[in-house]
Amino acid sequence: MLLALAGFVAGAINAAAGGGSLVTFPALVAIGYPALIANVTNNVAVSPGYITGAWGYRRELRGQRRRIAALAVVSALGSIAGVGLILISSQGAFEGIVPFLVLAACALLAAQPVIGRWVGERAGTHERPGIGSLVGQTLAAVYGGYFGAALGVAVLALLGVFFDDTLQRLNALKALLQLVIGVTAALGFALLTPVAWGAAAIVGAASLAGGLVGARLARRVSDRMLRGAIVAYGVAASVWLFLR
């Protein structure tokens, strides 16, 4: 029941603002899964939600083919590298770093309004990705394959740095790149690492259901209130992870 509730809330949060993994990952740890298994299971569980996100932005993806091809390739490669880091990480090392990753994800989520305004104020289009954008996206994809909470905020920030475009088009590109990173990591984990499939099924199904109502609920709750609640929860979860 806890996993179903966490998955439903995470799905609604992802549809409204992003950062749902800050709910599902601590929930998996709280019911007894080691941090490493919880992270792998969480990555697999949330990956189906990226499909609906990318599909919803299909209209804004038109005309971005030159960007998509190169950025999708480095996203897949970076995600594979992140999976590789998981494979060579010890349980102790991962448990030591994960509270810092949660705090970093909270900081990114807290900065999302500033990032969104800054990106939204830029205009024009540059279709071809350069070296800087490819390297930056590769690093973001490594993070996404390794942990992934607030990945969308990090990708959007990078796209805003390297491309002049509208926020909606960059959001669409972000959604597609998240899909590439998430599905690549999920496939790698499914083939190479232990996954708690029962928990993944519960979280995944509940998150899809939560995503269906998330947009409606978001219209009734201010973005500031929702984001503040998620960040507060994430900080509390990181403190709990430090102390456990």
Nearest-5° Cα angle at 199, 193 to 203: 115
Nearest-angstrom CA–CA distance, 17 and 202: 22
pLDDT at 74: 97
Concatenated DSSP letters of 2-49: HHHHHHHHHHHHHHHTS-THHHHHHHHHHTT--HHHHHHHHHHHHHHH
pLDDT of residue 62: 84
d(Cα 160, Cα 4) in Å, to the nearest integer?
A: 35
Counted domains in the chain: 1
- For residues 179 and 71, the answer to whether their CB atoms sit within 8 Å is no
Domain span at residue 119?
A: 2-243
Handedness of CA 66, 176, 141, 167 (dihedral sign): positive
The answer to whether 154 and 22 have CB atoms below 8 angstroms apart is: no
Handedness of CA 160, 164, 167, 169 (dihedral sign): negative
Query: Which pLDDT score is estimated for 219?
Result: 56
The 3 state secondary structure assigned to 118-152 is: HHHCCCCCCCCCCHHHHHHHHHHHHHHHHCCCCHH
pLDDT tens by residue, the chain, 244 residues: 999 999 988 887 776 666 788 889 989 999 999 989 999 999 899 888 778 777 777 888 888 888 899 999 999 999 999 999 998 988 788 878 878 887 887 787 677 677 666 655 554 445 677 888 899 899 999 988 998 777 877 887 788 778 877 767 887 898 899 889 999 999 999 999 899 999 999 999 998 888 777 656 655 666 677 667 767 777 887 787 777 6
Please report the pLDDT score of residue 226 as a whole number.
Answer: 63
Measured CA to CA, the distance from residue 21 to residue 18 in angstroms comes to: 8
Gap between the Cα atoms of 213 and 69, Å rounded: 32
What does pTM read for this prediction? 0.79
Between the CA of residue 186 and those of 60, 82, 146, what are the distances in Å? Answer: 26, 11, 11
Q: Is 61 helix (H, G, I), strand (E, B) or coil?
A: coil
Residues 43, 55: Cα–Cα separation, whole Å:
19
For residues 28, 33, 37, 41, the Cα torsion angle rounded to the nearest 10 degrees is -30
Output the pLDDT for position 165. Answer: 77
Phi/psi of residue 205, nearest 5 degrees? -65, -45
Neighbours of 57 (CB within 10 A): 16
Q: 43-61, pLDDT tens digit by residue?
A: 899 888 778 777 777 888 8
